[in-house]
């Protein structure tokens, strides 16, 4: 299994490093910023709580758990035009935004989001102040928009494991964490420069105050005996917020950046335990 969408900060390239830093034993698995689910699908925990504040993303997980074939049919229906040009992309994007406006969280909405993710610029998920998707077309005119075998595998896993899917703020989602549980935080990253902006994946964004709140939650979870791992950019703020924990610097590629020379950099993995 692998991610069904391309997501900013996706962890596919870091899976081996993350896996090697996972605790050998833990209770339930928690991931409050699930994104594309790379680590979840790699580890396949039998008891997990996953979530995100992006209800469109969470709808896909819920629909895949409910009926993966319905999601596949929805994506294939959009693919049936054969060739995707700019007009067709914009028409489909408008259809998706209409589903958002009407709050229609169903298999068709999930399929539209997966399809758009494959055909929008750089796989970004960005919305305007009204919560409507506004990423432009990527000029990809052909090719299948879904890996059906992967989708079916994800559906089977979600249906046959105890995976609790929630659309919640990270702090609320972690209220049930107990000693010995494992929590992985892959939040929207701290900007790497003063000119960079905090993310707008959701209409409310993820602010400096949210990063501080996340660090305080990390410390509370540490105090109750939970096993916690966090990834972020290698920037001074992260070192400041997590100074009392183990911080490892790692090299990464940033494929989501539109400027090729900016697609390399360093990230950190922060843990409160020894492997």
Residue-level pLDDT at 72: 98
Question: Is the same domain home to 243 and 203?
Answer: yes
Angle at 250 between CA 21 and CA 228, to 5 degrees: 35
Between 151 and 14, residue with greater pLDDT: 151
Q: Is the pLDDT of residue 98 over 70?
A: yes
Which residues constitute the domain of residue 244? 12-51+174-271
Please give the C-alpha separations between residue 81 and each of 4, 75, 143, in angstroms, as whole numbers: 21, 11, 11
CB neighbours (10 Å) of residue 183?
25
Both tokens of 21, joined, read: 């830093």
Tell whether 158 is covered by a domain: no
Domain closes at, from 149, 164, 193: 149
- 249: nearest Cα among 230, 268, 232, 222: 268
Residues 21, 271: contact at Cβ < 8 Å?
Answer: yes
Higher pLDDT, 128 or 271: 271
Give pLDDT, residue 7: 80
Question: Residue 93's domain is classified under what CATH number?
Answer: 1.10.1020.10
Q: Burial level of 51, CB count in 10 A (0-12/13-18/19+)?
A: buried
Can you spell out the DSSP letters for 241-270?
Answer: HTTTSEEEEEEEE-TT-SSGGGSEEEEEEE
Residue 152 has a pLDDT of 98
State the pLDDT at residue 6. Answer: 84
Surface-to-core class of residue 47, CB atoms within 10 Å of its CB (0-12 exposed, 13-18 middle, 19+ buried): middle
Please report how many Cα atoms fall inside a 13 Å half-sphere around the Cα of residue 226, on the Cβ side: 25
Q: Do 202 and 262 fall within a single domain? A: yes
What tens digit of pLDDT does each residue of 166-190 get? 999 999 999 999 999 999 999 888 8
Last residue of a domain, one of 149, 164, 189: 149
Provide the CATH number for the domain around residue 43: 3.40.50.150
The predicted pLDDT at position 10 comes to 66
For residue 266, tell me if it sits in a domain: yes
Q: Are residues 101 and 235 in the same domain?
A: no
pLDDT of residue 9: 66
Q: What is the pLDDT of residue 260?
A: 55
259 band by pLDDT with thresholds 50, 70 and 90: low
Q: What is the pLDDT of residue 201?
A: 46
Average pLDDT over residues 150-165: 98
Residue position matching structure tokens 């998707």 = 133
Q: Are residues 30 and 83 in the same domain?
A: no
Are residues 29 and 84 both part of a single domain?
no
Residue 90 CB-half CA count within 13 A? 4
Q: How many domains does the chain have?
A: 2
């Amino acid at each position: 299994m692998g991610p069904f969408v391309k997501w900013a900060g996706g962890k596919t390239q870091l899976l081996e490093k993350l896996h090697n830093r996972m605790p050998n034993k833990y209770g339930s698995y928690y991931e409050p910023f699930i994104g594309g689910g790379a680590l979840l699908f790699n580890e396949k925990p039998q008891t997990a709580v996953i979530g995100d504040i992006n209800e469109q993303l969470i709808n896909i997980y819920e629909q895949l758990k409910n009926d993966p074939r319905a999601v596949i049919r929805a994506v294939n229906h959009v693919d049936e035009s054969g060739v995707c040009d700019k007009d067709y992309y914009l028409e489909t994007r408008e259809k998706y935004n209409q589903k958002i406006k009407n709050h229609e969280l169903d298999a068709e909405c999930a399929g539209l989001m997966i399809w758009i993710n494959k055909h929008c610029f750089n796989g970004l998920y960005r919305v305007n102040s009204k919560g409507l998707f506004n990423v432009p077309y990527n000029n990809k005119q052909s090719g299948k928009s879904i890996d059906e075998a992967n989708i079916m595998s994800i559906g089977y896993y979600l249906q046959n494991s105890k995976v609790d899917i929630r659309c919640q703020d990270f702090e609320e989602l972690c209220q049930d964490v107990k000693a010995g549980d494992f929590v992985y935080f892959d939040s929207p990253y701290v900007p790497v420069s003063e000119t960079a902006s905090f993310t707008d994946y959701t209409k409310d964004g993820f602010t400096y105050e949210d990063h501080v709140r996340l660090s305080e939650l990390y410390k509370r979870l540490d105090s109750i005996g939970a096993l916690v791992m966090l990834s972020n950019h290698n920037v001074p703020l992260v070192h400041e917020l997590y100074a009392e924990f183990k911080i490892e610097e790692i090299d990464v590629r940033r494929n989501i950046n539109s400027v090729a020379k900016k697609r390399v950099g360093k990230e950190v993995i922060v843990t409160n335990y020894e492997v």
